[in-house]
Amino acid sequence: MDSDVATTPAPGGGGGGCPPVGIQLEGAILPPVLTVDVVLGLLGNVVALWIFCFRIKSWNANIVFLFNLVLADFLALVSLPLRIDALLRGHWVFGDAVCRLNLFLMFTNRTASIALMTVVAFYRYFKVVHPHHRLNRMSKRQAAASAAAVWLLVGSPRLPMLAYNHIKGSGNATQCFFFTSYKEASRGIIVLVAMHRILTVVEFFIALALLLFCSVRIFCFLKRRQMGKPDKVRKAMRVCGAIVAIFLVCFLPTTVTTLGLWLSRSLRPGDCAAFYALTQLTIVSLGLNFLNSALDPIVYVFSSSVFRKELSAAVPRRLRCQRGEDGERSASTSQSTSQTELGNVRTARAGEAL
């Protein structure tokens, strides 16, 4: 996992430092948390993949971005059962190659999920605030190329993970960690770990800044332009609020504990108690990272009327909310009445013109 698990001493220089960190909170807390992530996440994302692949016939740029988001979440979730197995067994049994691929999938798709969530929010911002911008005329091909660029951007810094052996120990003591002790690690591993931690912090603050910017601008725009429609403003803000809330709950704890580890190593390198506590909290916070993949289907529902329509159509009629159907009929009746009234007004105006 992504932390100083079981083998990493705090920096003390030379042969000193803190003794190895034992697996404590990780083995007790992560298995049930990750299991919940996998069960809920796969349920929601499999349904989402089915709707995208078999129900939605006409795709647009927004659908392309949402499909890539669900793909990132799905790939992150399918990498977790091996991690759960290793936690329950107490050791890794799947070998070096699978270890490398497992870690690569976990962390690449975590970053891809953050990046694509931000892209979805940014695209929505342009749709609402700048409806005539050329970005809103993006074709499916252009959206697919943009999504491919995102994958390349987030995957490239993680590729070196595939080049190093992350196995530690042997037999029943074998573990698949992101890196081993600094005493034993090569310079390449140390640089790779440092780069990973920098990315963890930087990607969080960049994405958070963009999400908050989009949310505030959408709120201000709708409040100014839709004074007579407060329900529409509230609905739009619920969408933005849901995205920001999911992002903060899932990724803020890891960012805070990562920063805490940096400060602990820099300012108090001999404080082993603080080092151990922050290490274990960083490990446990990973469970919240992958909860994001379980909660992202909320984003799909909020961000695409096409997805909502197909999801509703896929639900058997007897299971649909009667109130919702009544609401739809009422809305349809209201729309028909409005159209009739508009037609009468146009007829009257035409008569006056004659």
Considering all CA atoms of the chain, what is the largest pairwise distance in Å, rounded to the nearest integer? 98
- Per residue of the chain (354 residues), what is the pLDDT tens digit? 444 333 344 344 333 455 555 455 567 778 888 999 999 899 888 988 898 888 888 898 988 998 999 899 898 899 899 989 988 888 899 998 999 999 898 889 889 988 998 998 888 888 888 888 888 889 999 999 999 999 999 999 888 888 888 887 777 778 887 654 444 556 777 777 778 788 888 999 999 999 999 888 888 888 777 655 666 666 667 777 777 888 899 999 989 988 888 788 778 777 777 777 787 787 778 888 888 888 888 777 766 778 778 878 877 776 665 544 454 444 444 444 444 444 544 444 444 333
Phi then psi for residue 132, to 5 deg, are -100, 5
Q: What is the pLDDT of residue 212?
A: 92
pTM (global) more than 0.95:
no
Q: What is the pLDDT of residue 178?
A: 65
What residues pair up with 167 in beta bridges, in sequence order?
176
Q: Quick one: which of 111, 39, 115 has its CA closest to 78? A: 39
Q: Which residues of 184-223 are buried (b: 16+ CB within 10 A; e: fewer)?
A: ebeeebeebbeebbeebeebbeebbebbeebbeebbebbe
User: Domain map of the chain by residue range?
Assistant: 25-309
Q: What is the pLDDT of residue 318?
A: 66
CA torsion 299→281→78→119, rounded to 10°?
A: 30
**CA–CA separation, 186 and 182 (whole Å):** 8
**CA–CA separation, 57 and 39 (whole Å):** 28
Q: Which two tokens stand for residue 73?
A: 């979440």
Residues 6 or more apart in contact with residue 12 via CB below 8 angstroms: 18, 269, 270
Domain made up of 25-309: CATH architecture: Up-down Bundle (1.20)
